[in-house]
Amino acid sequence: MALTVSELTIHHGAICAINNVSFTVPQGQLTAVIGANGAGKTTLLRALSGLNKSTHGHATWNAHNLLHSKPESIVRHGVSHVSEGKAVIPELTVNENLELGAIWRKNKRETRETKDQITSIFPRLGERLNQRTDTLSGGERQMLAIGRALMSKPQLLLLDEPSLGLAPLVVEQIFQTIRDLTTTMGLTVVLVEQNAMGALKIADNGIVLNLGKVAVTGTAQSLIADPQVRAAYLGY
């Protein structure tokens, strides 16, 4: 049970966004994918959840091939993707956004249990179940987006820039929640982040992407200690 990506290549028209990328994310660990703007982080994540087509390579989760499936079937195999920018539907209520995440699950009793679990992790969402989502704050929306993804009872969680556009204090809170989720729920997490320092602090491993290629991999601590990574991505 691990996420294995090998020789993955993705083209956007003539541009090669991801070039021969290979890595493994061990089960139950949090892996941060960092890199500059345009390094291909989002493209990589969208390919793993079926939103982007890949040109070449393999990616498997739990012996399930991720590359030639549609998003709606990948989520049924335990992979949930929280796409960039507070991926919630503002026109729906908080409760409906959560229900949407479990819409394909047949067992309604289990679904209710999952929802109770999520509202206990994010009590703010529990209090606002019947409000329209556009009345929530940015941080609350990001929590709802993660909550929606958890409603599918995933084993692998793909997070795309959860810190985007949030105040520093809220970012810290979100990162802490992500760390806790990984430990308590036994989730495997791939966290794509522009905020490299914040991500590496909570991560077990890190992958640095540069112009669509893997530049460095290693444990999070080793990356924080790496002078080159510090200079290029951590800013000191």
Partner 1 sequence: MFQFINTLLIGITAGSIYSLMAIAIVLVWRSTRVINFAQGGLALASSFVGASILAQQISFWIALPIAMIAGALFSALTEYFLLRPLLKRSGDKGEEIFLPIIATLGLLGIIKTILNFTYGDRIGSIPPPISDKGFVVGGQVIALSPMRILILGIVLFLMVLLTFLFQRTNLGLALRASSYSPEISRLAGVRVDVIRTAGWAISGAAGAAAGILQTTNGSGAISPESFEFSLLLVFGFVAAVIGGIESLIGAVLGGLTLGVILAFILMYIGGSLVFFSAFLILIVILIVRPHGIIGVKGGRRA
- For partner 1, the closer of residues 96 and 172 by Cβ is 96
- For partner 1, the closer of residues 19 and 142 by Cβ is 142
Q: Which of 101, 162, 198, 212 binds partner 1 (CB under 8 A)?
A: 101
Which one of 48-56, 122-130, 184-192, 206-214 is the stretch in contact with partner 1 (CB under 8 A)?
48-56
Give 51's DSSP letter.
Answer: S
Q: Which of residues 134-163 bind partner 1 (CB under 8 A)?
A: 148-149, 151-152
Q: Does 69 bind partner 1 (CB under 8 A)?
A: no
Q: Which of 103, 167, 225, 231 binds partner 1 (CB under 8 A)?
A: 103
Nearest approach in angstroms of CB 183 to partner 1 is 24
Q: At residue 190, what is the residue type?
A: V
Do the beta carbons of residue 11 and residue 43 sit within 8 Å?
A: no
Q: Which of 38, 71, 126, 218 binds partner 1 (CB under 8 A)?
A: 71
User: Residues, the chain, total?
Assistant: 236
CB atoms within 10 A of CB 166: 20
Residues 6+ apart with CB under 8 A from 169: none
Give 90's DSSP letter.
Answer: T
* H helical segments located in 18-122: 41-48, 71-74, 94-101, 108-121
Q: Does 164 bind partner 1 (CB under 8 A)?
A: no
Which one of 8-16, 67-75, 201-209, 227-235 is the stretch in contact with partner 1 (CB under 8 A)?
67-75
Q: Report CA-CA distances (Å) from 145 to 151, 167, 195, 197, 230.
A: 10, 17, 19, 23, 31
Q: Does 83 bind partner 1 (CB under 8 A)?
A: yes
Number of DSSP helices (H) and strands (E) in the chain, helices first: 10, 10
Q: Which residues bind partner 1 (CB under 8 A)?
A: 49-51, 70-72, 75-76, 80-81, 83, 87-92, 96, 99-101, 103-104, 148-149, 151-152
